[in-house]
Amino acid sequence: MPRRDAFIEHLAQVPLFSACSKKDLTLVARRADDVHVDAGKVLISEGAAGHEFFVIMDGNAKVSRGGRKVAHLGPGDAFGELALLDQSPRNATVTAETPMELVVLGHREFAGILDEVPGFARKLLAGMAHRLREADAKSVH
C-alpha cells in the first residue's frame, strides 16, 4: 500500500487531477495497474492512438518528437493524460531509458470512474481549465 500512497501523491501533482480530492485519487489508484518495463521499451509512439495514462514511480524515460529528444522524465512525472479524454494520436514518443516502474490507467478504467462518480468529471474539467490557463500564459510570454 505505500506504493499506492506514493502514486496518489504523484496524481495530485498532475494538472488534469489537480481539483480532485484524496478520495477521488484513491479511486483512480485502485483502477490503475503497476507495470515494470525494461530499458529501451517504447511506452507510447508519436502518431499512435492513445489509450492510457502513465505515472513514473521509478526509472527514467526520454520524450522525442520527430526523432529529436525534447524532454527527460523521471520519478513523479506523468504523461499521456489527454488520451484518457479523447484517444487522439500521441504528440510524442516516450521511451524507457532505464528499467522502469509505472502506474498505468487505461481509458476503459477511467471511463468507468466517470460513469460511477458523476462529480468526478466536473473536477477533471476544472483541472483541464487550469492546464489551459497555464498553457495560455506561457504562449503570451
Range of the domain at 29: 2-106+119-140
Residue 114 lies in a domain: no
User: pLDDT by residue (tens digit) across 85-118?
Assistant: 787 889 999 999 999 999 898 888 888 888 888 7
Residue 111 resides in a domain: no
Task: Name the one residue in this structure whose C-alpha cell is 503570451.
Answer: 140
Q: What's the rounded Cα separation, in Å, for the pair 71 and 132? A: 20
Span of 1-15, 21-35, 39-53, 58-72 with lowest mean pLDDT: 1-15
| 24 neighbors 12 (Cβ within 8 angstroms) | no
48: left (phi over 0), alpha (psi -120 to 50) or beta: beta
Question: CB–CB of 84/107 below 8 Å?
Answer: yes
pLDDT digits (tens, 9 = 90+) for 110-122: 888 888 887 888 8
Residue 112 within a domain: no
Number of domains present in the structure of the chain: 1
The answer to whether residue 95 sits within a structural domain is: yes
Given a cut of 60, whether residue 1 has pLDDT beyond it is: no
DSSP letter assigned to residue 117: -
CATH code at position 95: 2.60.120.10
Average pLDDT, the chain: 86
